[in-house]
Amino acid sequence: MENPKEIKELVREKYADIANQSKTVNEASCCGVGSCTGVDYTIFSEDYSKLKGYNPDADLGLGCGLPTEFALIKEGDVVIDLGSGAGNDAFVARAIAGGRGKVIGIDFTDEMIDKARTNADKLGFNNVEFRYGDIEKMPVTANTADVIISNCVLNLVPNKTKAFQEIYRVLKPGGHFSVSDVVASGELPDSIKSGAELYAGCVSGAICKEEYLGIIEETGFENIRVQKERIIAIPDDIYLNFISEDELKKFKTSGVNLISINVYADKPDTSCCGPGSGCC
């Protein structure tokens, strides 16, 4: 899967299918969308049910972490949730930012946007909105957000450098992001990276952890730190839908793992020219 347009269309199609199902159906299916020929989209997810602001209608069993857990959201903050889905993380963020804050969810799947807006209307929130848009070109003006969060979405973006450049543009000076994502501890074999279904399932889109963190640093972010990480175990029968037994054996002995990480970084505050400059 090297064509960005094809990748985006595949991801859009798969997550549209998921949006039209309940979490119960997603979890009952071996691959999240009703058949046993693909990837289990719920295999990475963590439990949200005890978090303040949790809404079961918005929980489709997706994601690979709890980005709000480390996001340092304050009351009154403007928060942007990238790949907001049915609104799960957005509603948790809203519970922290409060009535004086604002949460903007961005997703490029119409079905997810419709589901999230319906959930927001049911909850009566007037400070949570969901916008249709591409993470590589966000429908948001520069210097808008105090905090940006995202949950298992940036690995699905073909141009990760552009995605982080957009995050930098949209954050206020001194703002920060906290994202959960899937990376690899080394180079994934071509047989896995080329799998279309594996890409949409957050597997083959995972790049090397060092490369991922390097992109963030090259974009200009500071104070970059991995707040949490855990190895994700993908069942053999899922891999065997896409690669041979010999390829699987080679992969399992390669020492390369898929890892769920939560990454934090600050956008520098360049509004002050420095001590003694007289501009502050």
Q: State pLDDT tens for residues 226-244.
A: 999 999 888 888 888 778 8
pLDDT of residue 197: 60
Q: 7 or 247: whose pLDDT is higher?
A: 247
Torsion over CA: 118, 121, 125, 129 (sign)? positive
Look up residue 131 and give its amino acid: R
* DSSP structure string for 173-218: EEEEEEEEEEEESSPPPHHHHT-HHHHHTTSTTPPBHHHHHHHHHH
pLDDT of residue 233: 82
pLDDT of residue 240: 85
Instruction: Return d(Cα 229, Cα 222) in angstroms, integer.
Output: 20
Distance linking the first and last C-alpha atoms of the chain: 49
pLDDT > 90 fraction of the chain, expressed in percent and rounded:
55
Mean pLDDT of 49-65: 88
pLDDT of residue 44: 67
Of 101, 93, 10, which is closest to residue 58 (Cα–Cα)?
93
pLDDT of residue 216: 98
Residues 264 and 177 sit within 8 Å (Cβ to Cβ): yes
Q: 15-30 burial, b if ≥16 CB within 10 A, otherwise e?
A: bebbbebebeebbebb
Strand residues in 83-188 grouped as ranges (E): 102-107, 128-132, 145-151, 171-184
Instruction: Return d(Cα 78, Cα 54) in angstroms, integer.
Output: 19
The pTM of the full predicted model, rounded to 2 decimals, is 0.87
Query: Is the predicted pLDDT of residue 34 greater than 50, yes or no?
Result: no
Mean pLDDT of 173-195: 87
pLDDT of residue 32: 40
Mean pLDDT of 35-40: 47
Q: Which helix (H) or strand (E) holds 266?
A: strand 258-266
pLDDT of residue 251: 87
Q: Which helix (H) or strand (E) holds 61?
A: none
Distance of CA 105 to the CA centre of its chain: 12
Mean pLDDT of 44-67: 86
pLDDT, tens digit (0-9, with 9 covering 90-100), for 144-160: 999 999 998 998 888 99
Domain 4-266 - what CATH class? alpha beta
Q: Which helix (H) or strand (E) holds 260?
A: strand 258-266
Q: Which helix (H) or strand (E) holds 23?
A: helix 23-28
Confidence of residue 276 (pLDDT cuts 50, 70, 90): very low
pLDDT of residue 272: 61
Domain range summary for the chain, segments of one domain joined by +: 4-266
Q: 196 or 180: whose pLDDT is higher?
A: 180
pLDDT of residue 277: 43
* Beta-strand pair 78-82/145-151: parallel
Confidence of residue 163 (pLDDT cuts 50, 70, 90): very high
